[in-house]
Structure 1
Amino acid sequence: MWLQYLGFTESSYIELSLDSSIIKQLIDSTSGTTVGTLTIEKTKKLPLAVPPLAEQKRISLFIENIFNVLKMVC
């Protein structure tokens, strides 16, 4: 998926948000199939919280650190 950078979003934060189980369920429920397609129209309707840029970076780093720890123990 391609997203335009608007200066107030961190790409890794948006990617992690769109990859969350809740958002995936919303996408699937609106498509009527088991594997939903994310369209521009659906993306505009998604309830994504967009905190300040610095907070997005902190959240992304925190989650990426958790994933790195999980990779080491699994």
Structure 2
Amino acid sequence: MTIAGIVAQLRAHPVATVLELGSVLVCCLLFAGTFVLLSSGVPTGRGDPWLALIGVGVAFVLFWTVLVPLYERTL
């Protein structure tokens, strides 16, 4: 498949493209954030960066397991 064919498929489904590319970006950011936080050592105090990372992960999982299936049912 050529690059033009891939671009045509992506343009045919813009919402799916945004969701998939956004998911890849969030996964990469979660991985990088986890790596950075692990390299910074054990959290002291409340550990706000860890809570933020966990919150983003939870929101990502809830989005794909709850919101997307509900949206697909309404189509």
- Alignment TM-score, normalising by the size of structure 2: 0.29
Q: Which has the higher contact order (CA 8 A, sep 6+)?
A: 1
Which structure is larger by alpha-carbon Rg, 1 or 2?
2
- Alignment TM-score, normalising by the size of structure 1: 0.29
More helix by share: 2
